[in-house]
Amino acid sequence: MSKTIAIAGKGGVGKTTLASLLVRGLLKAGRTPVLTVDADPNANLNESLGVAFDRTVISTVDELMERKDAMPSGVPRDRYLEFGLHEALVEAKGFDLLVMGRGEGAGCYCRANDLLRVFMDRLSGGYPYVVMDNEAGLEHLSRRTTRNVDALLIAATPSAVALRSAGRIRKMTEDLGLNIRRTCLVLTALNPDLNGRASLSDLEGLPLVGNIPYDGEVARRSVGAEALMDLSDESPAVRAVEEILARIGV
């Protein structure tokens, strides 16, 4: 059975950096293949992973829905959709990337979402590890397109605004009744002036599982939209994320 790690947090706190470093850590430990899902409509996880994508899951669903009346006779709709969605999968060394894309338009996608859930269940079952980079609203988690999350890591810079947002996200997961086995906080120091300044007194029920220190090389590469997969093993951020993986038991 696959283990799923999902990442959430307000914009600009380093969710995508955390996701890519988690993938790097899993690859280094030989825990492959990894299915990486970019569930943020502002998709840029591919840049930090060093790969390119041509299409998204939602754009593929849009195309298939537009020509649903022209589907081949005798081919079940779910199999036809699954075949098309496989075209959106980017294959790389040790991991594959699936970009979910923007939200739907004005049409009814209830049946498409049902089929997408079946596809995601089947697809994730073929990987020992799934890493999912979410938007703050947890849209794709709330649709249940990714279920049975083993660890939800809520990223936050050590600032009052980001920490309040982390608390709201935790409450949102509880209100949605999502099947998340463990929810934890990860502090990310994107600004060296903020390193270590945090007040966790109002975050009951959200244990701190790791603190990623400021890393100048990570900051430089992030500004230039450069890949993080070949960072040195001595990188402070790399070592911190490897410790997080050990603490969450994957």
Domain region containing 15 = 3-247
Say how many domains are in the chain.
1
Task: Give the up-direction half-sphere exposure of residue 49: CA atoms within 13 A in the CB hemisphere.
Answer: 32
* Average pLDDT of span 166-189: 88
Q: Is residue 247's pLDDT more than 90?
A: yes
240: phi then psi, degrees, rounded to nearest 5 = -65, -40
Lowest mean pLDDT among 94-98, 110-114, 237-241: 110-114
> What CATH number is associated with residue 193?
3.40.50.300
Q: What pLDDT was estimated at residue 79?
A: 73
Collect all residues with Cβ–Cβ distance below 8 Å to 212 and sequence separation of at least 6. Answer: 14, 18, 21, 186, 187, 188, 189, 236, 237, 240, 241, 244
Collect all residues with Cβ–Cβ distance below 8 Å to 164 and sequence separation of at least 6. Answer: 202
Structure confidence by residue, pLDDT tens digits, 25-65:
999 999 999 999 998 877 889 999 999 998 888 887 777 77
